[in-house]
Amino acid sequence: MPSQRKKLKIKLGDFQRALIYAVVWQVFFTILGVILASVWGANDTNKFGYWLDSPLKYMVNWDGHAYYNNLFDGYLNPMSQGAVFYPLFSILVYALHFVTFTLIPPVWCGLIVNTLALAVIFYMFKKICEQLKINVRWVVMFFLTFVSAGFLNFFYTEAVFVAGSLVAYYFALSKQWWKMGVALAVLTAARLPAILVVGLCGLEYLRSNKWRLDKNALWFLLAPVGFLAFGMYLYVVRGDFLAMFNMYNVPWTDWPYQQFTPNIFGTLINEGRLLAESVVRGTRSLGSALVAHGLPLYALGILLATSLYGLIKIKRWAVPLGVFGLVSFILFTINGNINSVHRYVLSSISVWLILGYMFQRARRRGKVALGIFAGANTLMMLVIFGGFVLYYFTG
């Protein structure tokens, strides 16, 4: 008998596939960013990132510059008073930089951290969708095509925060309460909206426990550990436990407009008025108006619509997600403005799970409409990505 060659079969697990997809996605956007920055931005020395000698310098524009500084000055630099951002992303980047004996530059470490975080996002979406009986392809499609998805590539905390949120929610969905508690403890060192994820996990705990408390509720006491540790560190080095909030009161920063304003309806009406004035009277450039008012209103509409759909149409497992979305809507609009809200909505995991469910259940016309929606989002996302690289404020 003729000899038969044995074919080498490599069976990839779910996380290995997720990592491959994440690498491909990040490589594409990194190449795009490097090309845009080198062709159109090379001679502009006013951009934050252009003091950095790296092909990835475009990643540290805007808030990325603050994350980079906080990474090395430990919040001690007086110039960082207006950017006391939560430390988890910076800690992960510094840890990778340290364990590689500083051979890998910090910005490259940031890209690696974001790539691994994106792989975790894909993996956790799959695990969650298996439990909720949703096709993960549609969930990931809506997530990656959203208008602010490009921020997953920048020196920002978006990818790490979304990954941590999904990990915590998955453990709550799986009734692995102690693991959920640990995940929440880490997550509260990432961003203020972690409090929303604590609430989401709390609602999932109550729903799965028939709205009753038991000893597993004690694991939620771990949730504030990350926030408290950050506050204690700030108290030691700066004498201000709440510096992450007080930074908005520093007069020479761009953030004094962040004021507690419970009149949410009035805020939304005012944002719509400012957008209309920009379009009709030309009070500011159309692109700037769309970023400042149009895209945030658009993202809030999606957040509100998916939340109500989950509560009214899906019910069951979507109740915690729907409430999470509604409370997110309030948190994102309670500061008297909606600046950068389209970036914040990217981390609202309820939106993508509910949109995926809607697409799966939709009839032909519904699928076409949602497909057009995703395609339009993709075009806007690419424009926003390019604008950020060229140092336009895009969220």
- Residue 37 included in any domain: no
Residue 344 resides in a domain: yes
* Residue 356 falls inside a structural domain: yes
For the chain, first and last CA: distance in Å? 67
Q: What are phi and psi of 136, to 5 degrees?
A: -65, -25
* Chain CA centroid to CA 52, Å: 25
Give percent above pLDDT 90 in the chain: 67
Predicted confidence band of residue 64 (pLDDT cuts 50, 70, 90)? confident
What does pTM read for this prediction? 0.93
CA atoms within 13 A on the CB side of 291: 15
Its domain, for residue 338, covers 257-361
At residue 76, the pLDDT reads: 78
Q: What's the DSSP call for residue 155?
A: S
Confidence (pLDDT) at 348: 96
Residue 143 lies in a domain: no
Between CA 347 and CA 337 the distance in angstroms is: 19
- Model confidence at 323, pLDDT cuts 50, 70, 90, reads very high
Helices assigned H by DSSP within the chain: 14-40, 63-73, 88-99, 106-132, 136-144, 158-173, 177-187, 194-208, 225-238, 243-246, 264-281, 286-289, 295-309, 318-333, 341-345, 349-361, 364-389
Number of structural domains in the chain: 1
131 assigned to some structural domain: no
What pLDDT score was predicted for residue 286? 78
pLDDT tens track for 258-313? 667 788 888 899 888 988 888 888 777 878 888 888 999 999 999 999 999 999 99
Residue at 330 is within a domain = yes
Supply the mean pLDDT for the chain.
89
Q: Which of 67, 59, 102 shows the shortest CA–CA distance to 87?
A: 67
